Structure 1
Amino acid sequence: MRKIMIVEDDPAIREELALLLENEGYQALAVTDFGDVPGQAGTFGPDLVLLDLGLPGRDGFSLCAELRRRCPVPIVVVTSRNSAADELRALSLGGDDYITKPYSIPILLARIKAVLRRSGGPSESDILEAGGVRLSLSRGTVWASGRTAELTRNELKILAHLMAHAGEIVSRADLIEALWDSRIYIDDNTLSVNVTRLRNKLGELGLPEQIKTRRGMGYQYDDR
């Protein structure tokens, strides 16, 4: 089920959008606290954000830019501001589409679907989630706590295998065999180097202990 995050300060519009999206088969999160929207996005892991520009205590344009910087997610701006200058500014700051209020519901839904399709909105099988981490297999990115890191091919395959077996001990031999099955040819030393680099990237996302070494046995991905 695709997830859509609604950042709208008008309660009536917010509730209407949430109900509309849920009826269309989406999982909707309506934000009511605008203090740390990117952080909430990191926790919820949306596939798309609907963003109003007129938010209390927060400039919608700067929030659009911050979301784009911190989260690998398409943004559709839905606002009552209808000037060409505002639209241009929102799109230049990272918005993927711009819809003015009042809007036609069928048009809004069509534009949402178009943005998801155009952005390569991931299918369910493309995303792995475990232990507070979200991994996109097609984009080669890992996302946690509102922050993103890009992975190399080796790092992606290693993390995907460990996440697929979250909580289990995976031997070094099993990891190397899994990589060979993916036509990635590495030896034991190269595996160590790649795991170290992967740990460093997860550490930058605030998860330095996500991959644990089980001495004499292998590695274990923390699924808690």
Structure 2
Amino acid sequence: MMKVYIVEDDPIILESMKQNLMRWGLEVHTVIDFENVKKEFLDIEPHFVILDVTLPKFDGFYWCRQIRDISNVPIIFISSRDSQMDQIMGMNMGADYYIEKPVDMDILMARVNALLRRVYSYKDLEQPTVMEQEGLFLHIDTNVVSYENNKIDLTKNEFLILYTLMQNQTKIVSRDEIMRVLWEDESFVDDNTLTVNIVRLRKKLTEIGIHDRIQTKKGQGYILK
């Protein structure tokens, strides 16, 4: 059974999310000690996390960084903060989604189901464990990209973007196509979110010596050279 860990200090929102997630057959764990979120995360070993931004003691951004230091599990931010800067900050820290309060439970469940299908199903398909293009290696089982003697971990979104581009080597992949791969239903997607993920992926590739391989084709999409 898939396990979710919810870190939310509003008891009404927490209970609503808990009941909806349980109806979908998920094992739900909720925060007990807001000062020991990382320890609870390690004890529970959830398949994904729902994390409020505004919390007692330390905010959700802090706990997202703590979790990202030890795990690549999907993270969904929920928040009453609706500024674009907060959303970009959350995505830059490795969150997969950012949902504004009041939380629409239908949208939340659509996000959750898309994440579970994407993260825990695509690896079950028959496919090679390593993809290669011009010395760039993508390791399917570990979400690691390597080049020469350098390697770096990718988040789920970064991995799927690069995976999609490598599947379509030398072909232009549209933004809509990438968004369908990432979120399966682009009607819920903020176009800026994809841009943030592309920028983050390019930065990581640069860190291991891969420069300008993901090229933007204006009005068309992206291509991996």
TM-score normalised per structure 2: 0.53
Mapping 1:154-165, distance limit 5 Å = none
In the alignment, is the contact (CA less than 8 A) between 2:17 and 2:105 conserved in 1? no
Contiguous gaps of at least 5 residues in structure 1: 125-137, 141-149, 151-224
What is the match of residue 73 of structure 1? 73
Q: Deviations over 1:88-133 (max 9, x none)?
A: 0000011111100112211110111112233336999xxxxxxxxx
Percent sequence identity is: 38
Distance 1:49 1:105, change over 3 A: same
Give me the whole-angstrom Cα distance separating, in 2, the residues matched to 1:99 and 1:53. Answer: 10
Corresponding residue of 2:9:
9
> TM-score, normalised to structure 1's length?
0.53
Partner of 2:18: 18
**Equivalent-residue separation in structure 2 for 1:58 and 1:90 (angstroms):** 15
What's 1:95 paired with?
95
Instruction: Identify which range, 91-100 or 59-68, moves more after superposition.
Output: 59-68
Q: CA deviation at 1:71?
A: 2.2
Q: Does 1:104 align with 2:75?
A: no
Distance change >3 Å, CA 122–CA 20, structure 1 → 2: farther
Quote the residue 2:60 is aligned against. 60
1:98 is paired with a residue whose SS is strand
Inter-partner Cα distance in structure 1 for 2:34 and 2:123 = 28
Distance 1:8 1:114, change over 3 A: same
Unaligned runs of 5+ in 2: 125-140, 144-152, 154-225
Note closer, same or farther for the CA distance 1:123–1:3 as it changes in structure 2 (3 Å cut).
farther
Distance in 2 (CA, whole Å) between partners of 1:68 and 1:10 is 24
Rounded Cα–Cα distance in structure 2 between residues aligned with 1:103 and 1:55: 16
Measured after TM superposition, the shift of residue 19 of structure 1 is: 1.4
Which structure's CA Rg is the greater one?
A: 1
The equivalent residue for 1:147 is: none
Residue in 2 aligned with 1:215?
A: none
Query: Is the 1:47–1:122 Cα contact (8 Å) retained in structure 2?
Result: no
Query: 1:20-40, CA deviations, whole angstroms, 9 ceiling, x for partnerless residues?
Result: 111110000011311121211
Partner in structure 2 of residue 27 of structure 1: 27
- What secondary structure is seen at the aligned counterpart in 1 of 2:77? strand
After superposition, residues 1-224 of structure 1 pair within 5 angstroms as 1-120=1-120, 138-139=141-142
Residue identity in the other structure for 2:115: V
Root-mean-square deviation (Å): 2.5
Task: Say if 1:113 and 1:9 are closer, same or farther in 2 by CA, change over 3 A.
Answer: same
Q: CA deviation at 1:53?
A: 0.5
CA distance in 1, matches of 2:76, 2:4: 10
SS at match of 1:119: helix
1:190 alignment partner in structure 2:
none
Q: 1:32 to 1:122 in 2, by over 3 A?
A: farther
Displacement, 1:47?
0.4
Question: Runs of 4 or more off by more than 3 Å in structure 1?
Answer: 120-124
Aligned to 1:212: none
Q: 1:138-175: CA deviations, max 9, x gaps?
A: 549xxxxxxxxx9xxxxxxxxxxxxxxxxxxxxxxxxx
